[in-house]
Amino acid sequence: MKDAPLSLDLRALALSRAGLGALMFVDLVGRLGDLGAHYTDDGLIPRAALELPWYSVHSWGGGAPWASSCLILHAIAAATWALGWRTRWTGLACLVLTIGLHARAPWVLHRGDAVLRLALFWSLLLPMGARWSLDARAGRGAPAGSDRVEGLAAWGWTLQLAQVYLWSVAYKLHPAWTHDATAVHEALSLDAYTTSLGRWVLTHTPLTRALTWGTLAIEAAAPLLLFLRSPRARVACVALFFGLHLGLMTTMRLGLFMPIMCLAWASMLPSSVFASARGRALASPRRPGLQLTIITAIALTIAYNAEEVRRFRVARDLPATHVQLLPEPARALAAAVGLNQRWSMFAPRPARQDAWIRVVDARTGEDLLGGLSPGERPHDRGVLPLRWRQLTSRITDRWDYEHAKHLLVWTCRRHPEATTLTAEVTLEHTTPAGEEDLLEQALFGQVDCAETDAVERK
């Protein structure tokens, strides 16, 4: 049996909601461990050094009690959303708190955070609590006799998920992806992210070339299967992306990014997977205001992505129009409602150099950040958690001296016995397969801990 055009199964939405809510809860509990570092004025970057929007709840206070209260409230909202209690309202609470959280510490974010935020936005327009929820048990779910929903909101979420990959391909129009097929080799050469299986794959050049072309082909073509009426096509699409993300999960250390992507794709499972599709599909409300909101959100995501690709290409002197495709007020609106996004992962090619930082105490020679000895690679001792790797990658990839200074000053405060701290960066230049990688040492900055207050005021 063919599904209606772009209908979503209510049980698939429930599975996605429960899984994403649980992952959000786990992530927030983990963030509590870094509360002082990332979310307080005594951490890496105080609120005064950021341009926080007024709607970020984390802009309303900078102390540990306020930040911890926000994270705990966020975790409670995530748990209740996962359970499907007052699903629309708890989803709204999660979205508002997530937007504020992301604005407070953008230096620790990964693409999975953006997907989770986007899923929360579209969840407000879909019956996420219609099945397998406390709302359903209380009689607040969908009417009996239907297990699917169709309408503009279903189109919007499906198109959003497809855009993650279609726009990603637009960023990757580089010979490393399209001709030489070296992109996977380059990505797996990043020691801070590669697992032991990934290092084994790295030694097999024909396999890395095949994986490069296979990844690009899946991202370019598989999302189109979502728009066919055949349930088999949709199952094939979901299976392909499950395989893609499971492959990434086993070869690279990417934290919760891959589980988030798999659970987002679970929302696309057709009714045939759940053994039945009873009766007519549940139609989304057709209120004019709601329909206009959905159309505006769809148009905004397309225009935002097109503008991000344009800016990306202009910044790298690649052929692109210099006409702005989305006005600044519209960009600000997208950020305010959680629709801002950029899918430039490993683009236009993966980084050609791996880099890691040692924050060295001049008194002892000890690395106070990751505990690395001179000459050690991250995987020799155990890599930093993903969010800390995002920060150090931001510093080394962009030569971001401002964030490096904040890191040194914060480390001084954590280690009052330290005298002078130096940021030492090791650069490992990726070479063609079969050749030994080249190492280069660089000093990235130095701070006299006795003058920390003066450094912070600069």
- Calpha distance 341→190 (Å, rounded): 24
Three-state SS string over 369-426 comes to: CCCCCCCCCHHHHCCCCHHHHHHHHHHHHHCCHHHHHHHHHHHHHHCCCCCEEEEEEE
Greater pLDDT, 283 or 254:
254
- Calpha distance 176→179 (Å, rounded): 6
Question: Using 50, 70 and 90 to split pLDDT, how confident is the model at 351?
Answer: confident
pLDDT above 90 for 309: yes
Q: Is residue 272 within 8 Å of residue 147, measured between CB atoms? A: no
Residue 447's domain comprises 353-457
Work out how many domains the chain is built from and give that number.
2
| Amino acid code (one letter) for 136 | A
Residue 442 CB neighbours (<10 A): 12
Report percent pLDDT > 90 for the chain.
66
105 with 234, same domain: the answer is yes
pLDDT above 50 for 455: no
HSE toward the beta carbon, residue 354, CA cutoff 13 A: 20
Query: Which pLDDT score is estimated for 457?
Result: 37
Enter the pTM of the model: 0.93
Coil, strand, or helix at residue 322?
coil
177 with 273, same domain: the answer is yes
In a domain, 347, yes or no: no
257 with 325, same domain: the answer is yes
258 with 383, same domain: the answer is no
Length of the chain in residues, anyone?
458
Query: Which pLDDT score is estimated for 284?
Result: 63
In a domain, 1, yes or no: no
Greater pLDDT, 457 or 369:
369
370 with 267, same domain: the answer is no
303 with 198, same domain: the answer is yes
Query: Which pLDDT score is estimated for 436?
Result: 65
In a domain, 346, yes or no: no
52 with 177, same domain: the answer is yes
152 with 257, same domain: the answer is yes
The listed range with the strongest mean pLDDT (225-229, 338-342, 420-424, 442-446) is 338-342
269 with 389, same domain: the answer is no
Mean pLDDT of 157-183: 96
- Calpha distance 246→211 (Å, rounded): 13
